[in-house]
Amino acid sequence: MKTNIYVLCGGKSVEHDISLRSASAIINAIDRKKYNVYPIYITNGGVWCNLGLWENKIESPDELRSISSSTVSLSMGEFLTNILKADEDNLVFPALHGPNGEDGTVQGFLELLNIPYVGNGVLSSSVAMDKVVTKDLLTKYNIPQVKYTSFKLHSWKENEEKSYEEVEKEIGYPCYIKPSNGGSSVGISVARNREELVNSFKEAFLYDSKIIIEAEIVAREMQVSVVGNHNPKASVPGEFIMERPFFDYNAKYIDGKLIPVVPARLTPEITDLVCRTAEKTFKVLNCSGLARVDIFVTDNNEIFVNEINTMPGFTAVSMTPVLWKATDGTTYGELVERLIRLGLERYNERKVLVNKR
């Protein structure tokens, strides 16, 4: 009997549309001889919409959109009682990016339901989504990072002037201001003076109640895909030719300005250092399945971990599949199958654990 794979897409996130692109490619790549594919579209309001057994190729991500008048609770109840086939083999592929999907919330729900799923567990998903917590943890393990500080919304509102003075004293200009939780460069801006800093604080706090401020570093950013459970392996590093000071949302997904260079232009020694650092970061954050680690490399060959993404963009031309194709010839379909196997492996290992009081 075929295993049923439920691909979650959309979601309550600013990365909703990116999720649909990733899900479309994943659905098209899943081997229909081995699996039944059921896309589950999650609206911007959080309602789960069953799109039924999907046998054809998806031509446009918009095919996955659906409209529903149901509530979140009722739609999730319908998924559990009428859609999820309790007497068959099931697996969930959360093709969700950002909060309410990549941050451990969905993963926790699936853990409670005792359903195997692709990708990282609750802890690694939630920790990696929070840039401040991630950096604090990596600091403990002496993983190099650029200088940073953070602020919560309530403390900023209590004394805005003090917050700005602290940034100027501890970080200086120019600096980057980011929401602590989020992705795809949404809400991120650079400040070169006090006026820009004030505006950047206001912008970042639109997307999260906690923000992080990082010192600017003159460096190239490498992207490394790490895949595995107990023995994770890093791909070759890749990079993008810089046409902007940093890649905002438009540069990444709309303008088509990104020019990938794979493998990245690094010496063998620095390539090895970048890959080992990516693997160490993956392990420190207790990751499983997959992640993409972004690492800065300066002209002096210093390296600094920027961030880790536990469900990176996963279209056919996204960096993750491109990196593995360049590393060992793995095709997109083979990578999807590998992630499914890793998800089942992790589930089966945890299933035999005995819980005692």
Tokens representing 169? 């004293």
- Catalytically active residues are 15, 184, 318
The response to whether 28 counts as a known ligand-binding position is no
What stretches of the chain adopt beta strand conformation (E)? 3-10, 35-42, 48-50, 90-94, 148-152, 175-179, 189-191, 210-215, 220-228, 233-234, 238-241, 259-261, 289-297, 303-309
DSSP string over 272-305: HHHHHHHHHHHHHTT--EEEEEEEEE-TT--EEE
- Token representation of residue 257: 């300005």
Q: What are phi and psi of 328, to 5 degrees?
A: -140, 15
Calpha distance 270→159 (Å, rounded) = 43
**Does 272 count as an annotated binding residue?**
no
Instruction: State how far the Cα of 351 lies from the Cα of 70, in Å rounded to an integer.
Output: 33
Q: Is 307 annotated as a binding residue?
A: yes
Task: List binding-site positions.
Answer: 294, 307, 309
Task: List binding-site positions for Mg(2+).
Answer: 294, 307, 309
